[in-house]
Amino acid sequence: MKQDEYICRCMSIDYQSIFLAAKRGIRDLDDLIDWTGAAKGCGTCINALNAKLEKAINSCNITDTQQNKFPFA
């Protein structure tokens, strides 16, 4: 993985990790930090983590809605 693909470079956290956290029910930044270990270095990634968590939550909601419509797909 390229270094610039990490949302949190200090702790090597990428969007996939954030998306998985959202899929498991993480809904706020503090829980994301606890669950992934992100933002425990320089801390400059906080705003980006928050934005990506919001995006991931929205993606999960779309996916959940689609799964509810097509439960056997």
By the criterion CB under 6 A, which residues form the site for ligand FES?
8-11, 38-39, 41-45
| CB 46, min distance to ligand FES, A | 8
Give CA–CA dist 13/3, Å, rounded. Answer: 10
Residues 6 or more apart whose CB falls under 8 angstroms from that of 37 comprise 11, 13
Between 3 and 68, CB nearer to ligand FES: 3
43, amino acid identity: G
| CB 9, min distance to ligand FES, A | 4
Between 18 and 57, CB nearer to ligand FES: 18
Between 16 and 67, CB nearer to ligand FES: 16
Measured in degrees and rounded to the nearest 5, phi and psi for residue 6 equal -80, 135
User: Tokens 């949302």 sit at which residue?
Assistant: 7
